[in-house]
Structures are given as structure tokens and as C-alpha cells.
Amino acid sequence: MSMSNQRAGGSDEGPEAPDMSLYEDETSNATGDEMVEAELAAPDAEPATPDAELATPDAELASPDAETSDSADTDDADMGDAASAPEAEASDDTEFSLSTIELKYPEIYAEMMALQDARNEFDIVRQDLSDRAARNREDLLNLLRIRRLNAHFADILGGGGVYNDQEIVNLTEDPLLDAEFERVMQDIRDMRRDVAVLAVRHATLAEWAKEIREKQKDARSQELANR
């Protein structure tokens, strides 16, 4: 398994946290009718509420964090360097090379591997949320367009004098469409909770990375003191 940094422990920052402010507004609790009214009021504009609800988390969750993605192109090279020089130490007096940790401090090395596994899992969950956001946005926009078209054609029929007002209302009601709309909106609300859980996981990983780095520094200081 490749580490994201040849230097032991990597960055103290850990994976990038989703921005919780994305989900602090109450727009996602708007009823379907309210959102449709907003859509019908400006038929040429994209519906503001679902776009604001979904577009930002997609961008936020999809953005790679510095620790696991920015250095992805150099991971294999870093590990190769460490393997080719197993006794080489980092130039910094307070840090070990990855290969040195693996040889001299297997417990710390095992913890580093576990941290990397957790970071990889974090990235998978974050990508899943990003994909859900994209799907929900597309579904919601399509549902709103269908509602807008229903209202448009009902208005045409009403203007022809063939149907009375109640009959027009009956023609525009679509329980299946309403149920699908509610399903998408519920998943958007669920995503707010999932992003909060992901933010907690981010904080945990960042703290874990700091603890591992402190263990490395302590081990290095002890080794220098024993010389």
C-alpha cells in the first residue's frame, strides 16, 4: 500500500473536511409546491433552491484533499525510493524516512498503514456523497421541468374553454411525480446528516495523524539521546 507522503506520518492536516455551512440553511425543507412556484415564476431560470442545495456539496466533496490526492502522482515514486534505501534516514533530525520506521518501529508503521486505510475509506465515502449530489440535482431539475410543463399545458387546455378550473387542477395532479419529488428531497436532507458525519471523521483523522507524528518525534528524540 502506498503512503501519501514518504515522510513519516504525512501532513497534520489530514483529508479536507466538507464545509458544514453548506447545509445550515433551511431551503431543503421547502415544500415541493413552494419550489415549483418559484420555478414557474421564472420559467427560464434554473430552480435556485435545488441548485444551491446540491451544487456546492458536489464541488466541495469532489475536491481532492492535499494529503490523499495532490501527492497521488508521487506516491509510487516515494515508496520506491524508500525501498531502495532502507537504511536512509530523513535529512531532518526530527523525522525518519518511511523505510526506517518500517524497520525500526513496526508498531508506528502499522499505525501509519491503518491511518492511510482510513483516509482511503474517507475518500470513498466523500466521492459517494459527491455522486449522490450530482444525481439528486439532475433528478430534481427534471422533476421540476415536468411539473412546469404540466402546468403549461394545463393552462393551454384551460384557455380553450374545454375544461373547468377543477378539471384543470385534476389534470395537473400527479401522485407518482409528487412521490418521486419527495424521495429526492429526502435524500438531500439525509445528505446533510451524512456530511456532518464525514466532518467528524475528518477531525478524527487529523487528530490521529498528529498523534502518529508525535510518536515519530518522540522515537527520534530517544534515538538521538541514546547515541
Q: Following DSSP, what letter does each residue of 149-188 receive, concatenated?
A: HHHHHHHHHHHTTSS-HHHHHHHH--HHHHHHHHHHHHHH
As for how many domains the chain has, the answer is 1
Is the residue at 9 inside a domain?
Answer: no
- Predicted local confidence at residue 16, as pLDDT: 54
Is the residue at 93 inside a domain?
Answer: yes
The dihedral sign for the CA sequence 27, 33, 35, 38: negative
Is the residue at 7 inside a domain?
Answer: no
**CB neighbourhood size of 11 (10 A):** 19
Do residues 112 and 212 touch, judged by C-beta distance below 8 A?
Answer: yes
Is the residue at 3 inside a domain?
Answer: no
Q: Show the domain range for 83.
A: 25-225
Do residues 94 and 28 touch, judged by C-beta distance below 8 A?
Answer: no
Rounded to whole angstroms, how far apart are CA atoms 78 and 97? 10
Predicted confidence (pLDDT) per residue in 33-58, tens digit: 454 444 444 434 333 344 444 433 43
- Using the predicted structure, report yes or no on whether residue 67 has a pLDDT greater than 90: no
Do residues 133 and 54 touch, judged by C-beta distance below 8 A?
Answer: yes
How wide is the angle at C-alpha 222 spanned by C-alphas 218 and 225, nearest 5°?
Answer: 140
- Predicted local confidence at residue 26, as pLDDT: 38
Answering whether pTM is above 0.85, one says no
- Predicted local confidence at residue 181, as pLDDT: 93
- Predicted local confidence at residue 101, as pLDDT: 87
Is the residue at 11 inside a domain?
Answer: no
Predicted confidence (pLDDT) per residue in 124-173, tens digit: 999 999 999 999 999 999 999 998 988 888 888 777 777 777 877 777 88
Is the residue at 20 inside a domain?
Answer: no
- Over range 95-117, report the average pLDDT: 88
Is the residue at 140 inside a domain?
Answer: yes
Is the residue at 132 inside a domain?
Answer: yes
- Using the predicted structure, report yes or no on whether residue 184 has a pLDDT greater than 80: yes
